[in-house]
Structure 1
Amino acid sequence: MNISQMDYFVEIVEADFNLSIAAEKLHISQPALSNLITRFEQNQNVQLFVRRNGRNVALTPAGDLLYTTCKKMTKLYNEMEEKMFQISRYHKGVIRIGVPPLILSILFTQVLSQFIAKNPNIKFEIHEFGAYHLIDLLEAGKIDIAILLQPNRVNPKFYKDVLLYEAKLIAYMAQSHPLAQKTELTWQDLDDQVLATFDESFMIYHLLKNALKEKQVNAKIMTQSGSWDFLVETARQSEMLTLLPGVVQNFINREGLSILAIEDPIPWKISIVYPRKAHYSFLEQYAIDSLKKYFKDGEDILPIEEF
């Protein structure tokens, strides 16, 4: 049996074994449908239907096995056809991803480069903003995926939020800073210190403000910026401290800097956030699943044709 013939058999069963009704739905003649069943039974030496007074009234065990198998096969075939359609439709599509500058620089440069190199016909629009603006873009439908810190203000009723990567914030300061000789900082060490940090559009700013309030630390934020490398240089050249993820130290010149862990540090949790919906385009599903596998399972990005 080919796929079309499997569809015919399933339609006969679901038409309550009525060949006339099945033939009408399938737009073929009743004799042609009857001949299909007869030929299959003769070729396989089986009987598919229980017959009474010349009418099909039920399935035999062989017929029941064939019906179950045909249902599975036609479902798989239809899913495969849909995937092929989606690949052809979205092979030259656009996926819009929002990423904060810090995360883009230290975590997403390589993965996005793999996406672009392996999918030359897909356009990857990268929107580089702080978390608060990215959430606005996501809620307005202007980006498909946002890379954000947890916790965030997206409504879990309408958006999925999946953890990709986790680190901790640590302190960066000049080697001449009074705290530079310590082996580890406490939050009380930051009392009366002057800080440089991201501006209010970045989640790190709000995480830091909340931690200072919770720990009852009277530190003063003197400099704000959207540039993490500017914050590092500010700490290197002044008496300000900045708190950034530990992974940042792998991407900077550490000369003249002291980098210290903080007791009970602020977690830096990176998540992929996207709308909850009944159906995702093949391109959306490809981007979402590929990012999850890259960060959680360490798998390289595959071309969309191999996804």
Structure 2
Amino acid sequence: MELRQLKYFLEVAKHKSITKAAESLHISQPALSKMIMGLEEELGMTLIIRTNKTSEITDAGMVVMEYAQKMAVLVDEMSTTLNDMTNLTRGKINIGLPPFIGSLFFPQVLAKFHQKYPNIEMNITEYGGARVVKSVEEGEIELGVAVQPIDDQEFNVFPIVEEEMKLLVNSEHRFASRDNVCINELINEEFIFYSEEFALHDIMRNLFISEGFEPKILFKSSQWDFMSEMVAANLGITILPEPICNRVFHNELRIIGLKPAVLWKLAVITKKNRYLSNAARMFVEFILNERKITHYN
């Protein structure tokens, strides 16, 4: 069994298509099919069920895929470790950022980091906060930015931002003239809510449940600008971090405080007991020195 076979199998599993995987790998479809068949013969099991349109992964294929992903992470770590030992001036960082966060704080931080370390390549993947945590845990990305609380038994947690959550309502809403609203007063409101992939979905939902009610969710979205536009159209209310609310410029919207205050805490996370490249360590150190980003507009 060769690492290349496993790499090619992972690509087929990713695309669920030998044709698309062959295009991605820049090899011929017959060559890829032959390599997969060779892997199946060696293992004595069918890994892929081939149809005219798709290539479905069997139960045995799922097991192989799980171990192949772990091996790919180890190979990447080995390469990174060897590169670090040679003190190369180049490097690469795989970063996971939730869309809410990326657009607020990180353009300026990334620009400054690139200016200081121009030879370090940064691959940024936008995931919801929950998936960022999972991806760091599984080794898909080296470090991520996520909403706390984070399990500090599994992750190294470096706090960087702390802001308040604010209520966003239409100017005709009954709360529009209020400075603050108690959370339990929202029991009968209809919410424009976050998609399940975002950590805020579970955090805010659990907060409401602790106050004695299940939120009435009218729509879910992963885009804060779309959420605020729906509130402006008087379709419901929403709760967003204050820095996002401050970016909303609409005459039909009002920003209101919550009682008790609800904090939005962000942290850079890395997996404990996993090798972290020099480039990633430099980035963590850099961003901790730039914690003043919480005051950026």
TM-score interval w.r.t. the shorter chain? 0.5 to 0.7
1: CA distance between counterparts of 2:88 and 2:289?
21
- What amino acid is aligned across from residue 221 of structure 1 in structure 2? I
Counterpart check, 1:223 vs 2:219: yes
Counterpart check, 1:233 vs 2:254: no
Q: Is the 8 A contact 2:190 2:218 kept in 1?
A: yes
Counterpart check, 1:123 vs 2:121: yes
1:281 maps to which of 273, 277, 281:
277
Give how far 1:219 is off. 3.2
2: CA distance between counterparts of 1:90 and 1:248?
39
Pairing 1:39-78 to 2, within 5 Å after superposition:
none
Task: Quote the residue 2:266 is aligned against.
Answer: 270
Task: Quote the residue 2:291 is aligned against.
Answer: 295
Q: Percent identity over the alignment?
A: 23
2:101 maps to which of 86, 103, 108:
103
Task: Quote the residue 1:186 is aligned against.
Answer: 182
Query: SS of 2:290's equivalent?
Result: helix
| Deviations, residues 169-214 of structure 1 (Å, cap 9, x unaligned) | 1101110112212221111221110001211111111111011100
2: CA distance between counterparts of 1:247 and 1:163?
17
Closer/same/farther in 2, CA of residues 297 and 203 from structure 1, 3 Å limit: closer
- What amino acid is aligned across from residue 213 of structure 2 in structure 1? V
1: CA distance between counterparts of 2:209 and 2:253?
27
- What amino acid is aligned across from residue 210 of structure 1 in structure 2? N
Counterpart check, 1:200 vs 2:202: no
Pairing 1:111-190 to 2, within 5 Å after superposition:
111-152=109-150, 154=151, 156-190=152-186
Closer/same/farther in 2, CA of residues 218 and 270 from structure 1, 3 Å limit: same
Give how far 1:216 is off. 1.1
Give how far 1:280 is off. 3.6
TM-score by length of 1: 0.64
Give how far 1:255 is off. 2.2
- What amino acid is aligned across from residue 137 of structure 1 in structure 2? S
Query: SS of 2:246's equivalent?
Result: helix
2: CA distance between counterparts of 1:235 and 1:137?
32
2: CA distance between counterparts of 1:268 and 1:185?
17
1: CA distance between counterparts of 2:247 and 2:86?
39
2: CA distance between counterparts of 1:297 and 1:197?
26
Query: SS of 1:251's equivalent?
Result: coil
TM-score by length of 2: 0.66
Aligned residues: 212
2: CA distance between counterparts of 1:187 and 1:275?
35
Task: Quote the residue 1:261 is aligned against.
Answer: 257
Closer/same/farther in 2, CA of residues 182 and 287 from structure 1, 3 Å limit: same
Q: Is the 8 A contact 1:187 1:217 kept in 2?
A: no
- Bigger Rg, which one: 1
Q: How well do the aligned residues superpose, as a CA RMSD in angstroms? A: 2.1
1: CA distance between counterparts of 2:211 and 2:177?
23
Q: Is the 8 A contact 1:190 1:218 kept in 2?
A: no
- What amino acid is aligned across from residue 145 of structure 1 in structure 2? L
Closer/same/farther in 2, CA of residues 199 and 148 from structure 1, 3 Å limit: same
- What amino acid is aligned across from residue 238 of structure 1 in structure 2? N
Closer/same/farther in 2, CA of residues 257 and 90 from structure 1, 3 Å limit: farther
2: CA distance between counterparts of 1:234 and 1:178?
17
1: CA distance between counterparts of 2:215 and 2:276?
46
Query: SS of 1:223's equivalent?
Result: strand
Task: Flag structure 1 segments of 5+ consecutive residues without an equivalent.
Answer: 1-84, 299-307
1: CA distance between counterparts of 2:218 and 2:261?
21
Task: Flag structure 2 segments of 5+ consecutive residues without an equivalent.
Answer: 1-82
